[in-house]
Structure 1
Amino acid sequence: MKEVKHSPLSNLPLWKQWKEEGSTEAKKSLIEQYIPLVDFVSNRLAIGLPKNISRDDLSSYGIMGLIDAIDKFDYTRGLQFETYASWRIRGAVIDGLRQGDWVPRSVREKAKKIEDAYQKLEQKYLRSVTDAEISEYLQVSEGDFQQMVNDIAITSVCSIDDPIKEEEAETRLSLLVDETAKNPDYKVNEVYLKDTLAKAIDKLTEKERTVVSLFYFEELSLSEIAEVMSLSPSRISQLHSKAILRLRGSLGRFKGQLFQN
């Protein structure tokens, strides 16, 4: 489904009633107004998850995230609620899933090994490495490597509350910037961030770049992308997983450059 768009001021009377008068009826109305955001985010995250993960569970987690967003949102700052709420909903869904231990430790270990392999080999060769090179580095057959990628497809989502590196406290949420606030470092970091992302995306294969573009910018489902690219949904899922692992490895390598200040 398409994301429901609202004008930033379309629900201003409700926001005032809730924030300034504490009207529970106004809060209930806001929840009803923005509940389509929960469906949108939940449906996006459901792609590639195991079949035993209930859509109702995703929606329940998402609703809690929406309520949290409504409680914490400051309507006086001129920000768009939909963007803020989408991050909160996504984080709540992923955190809810992780509390249920939905991904085995062994799968997460595989993801970390492949991510590290991409990081080290692409830093060494300064180019996009092949499946054969990754397989050799991991000391597994190419068939086993492809199976590993399939196994970790469900870990390609992340919470904004996750630490950027396991041994550090800084989270993705801490890096979200309020563009209306005056921050002298923002423009500098923005330039580095764009440069780093561009370099990371350049290292993706052509098919991986296409999948990332169609999934995150055109908002197509995996099955729709499969139809566009004349590939199977499982192959699209695999390409998506490889792209995410490559990007994580590249961004991790440039972290010191991006956030040294």
Structure 2
Amino acid sequence: MKKNKKNPSTRLRAGKKTSRVVTSKNKSQGKKKIKNTKNPFRSGKKVKRKKATRSTKLRAGKKAKKRIKKTKAKAEAQSKEKKVSREDLISELVAQGKQRGFVTEDEIIHVIPDVEKDLETLESFYEKLESSGIKVVRSDEILKMETDKIASDHDKGKLKSQELLFAGHDTGGGPADLVQMYLKEIGRVNLLKAEEEVKLAKGIEKGDQASRQKLTEANLRLVVSIAKKYVGRSHNLSLLDLIQEGNIGLFRAVEKFDYRKGYKFSTYATWWIRQAITRALADQSRTIRIPVHMVETINKYTQVTRRLVQELGREPLPEEIAAEMSLEVDKIRHIQKISQETVSLETSVGDNDDDSVLGDFIEDTETVMPHQVASRKLLKNHVIEILDELSPREQKILKIRFGLEDGVTHTLEEVGQEFGVTRERIRQIEAKALEKIREHATIKKLKDY
């Protein structure tokens, strides 16, 4: 029987049908796979995941609670430390207020910086001040209080105004009486208003000496208030010296004041007064002068060192100070070296001033010890004994060549010029003389030196 041969077209149609069947089967299998992949979410696996998430949440919650407790404990510890330090500062300020009879508003703000948050602490602090009879004043009122006190003393007859001022005699109290007299005199001058300052400044521009003098005298109290802040920074400059240096800055401010910029004269003059006082401290406070910029660095170094001593309870290391000041360690060591105070060698040591001074306890490294002097004397005698075995010419050449007479050595050329021969001839004579010395019987004695 003959087999039916299929046409190519029929083969193509059959291939398409089979491919369609295969693709349809693949699609159906893919859908089943997708369904199968979805099924596990609907099965018990979802319950297991829920349990796992709940346990992790519980663990995370416990960890968060522990962290919160730790942060609360740290915050409480820090607050306790702040309270302790603040209580110490408050007690110190109250003690100072009892001695002086007043405290300033700036000091209260320094002790209690967060006034709005610590109202209870502020109220209790004011109650302590009231119970102790301590007044709260502004910083600018301190000078007025002192001048009023001096004026009241004058009214009672404790001071003589014009007689003491112009007589030029010592009152017995020393510099304190001079300061009181000066404060009394400058306290008589009334302060100026802004309009009066402008009027006087215009007069100064026209060359009016009376306006210059009036503006200067009205601001002398400002100089005193600024100079008081620098008392104690130098042993060489007293309060009167600082006031005089500040007055020089005030004169400079009077000359350069420009009323057209709208600032008060006191605001402008403050900077000139401070500049004059700090320059005087830098120039006159030390035996060896230190530049102004270095003085500021030393002051900052001193403040940082004191703060670190309080925080660490010990003297800070140079590395710690360098990290705090953002400087190199070598720079800190340089600051420590130049910030040392100079001390006189004539400073007395001990209770009896006439017995000993500081210079007696410092070793003199340049002084020769007695045993060294004796050793050198013996060495010299041995050398002379050996040189006596040489001829006079050889002795002189060696003495000049090695500086045995005056301690100054000479070259072969210089020795040759001295004897009128060449340097080669001097070298030959020197070598011959040294050979004789090496063969000398007592040469072994020199090995001990």
- Judge same fold: TM > 0.5, yes or no: no
**TM-score band, normalised by shorter chain:** 0.3 to 0.5
Please, what TM-score do these two structures have when normalized by structure 2?
Answer: 0.25
Higher relative contact order structure (alpha carbons within 8 Å, sequence separation ≥ 6):
1
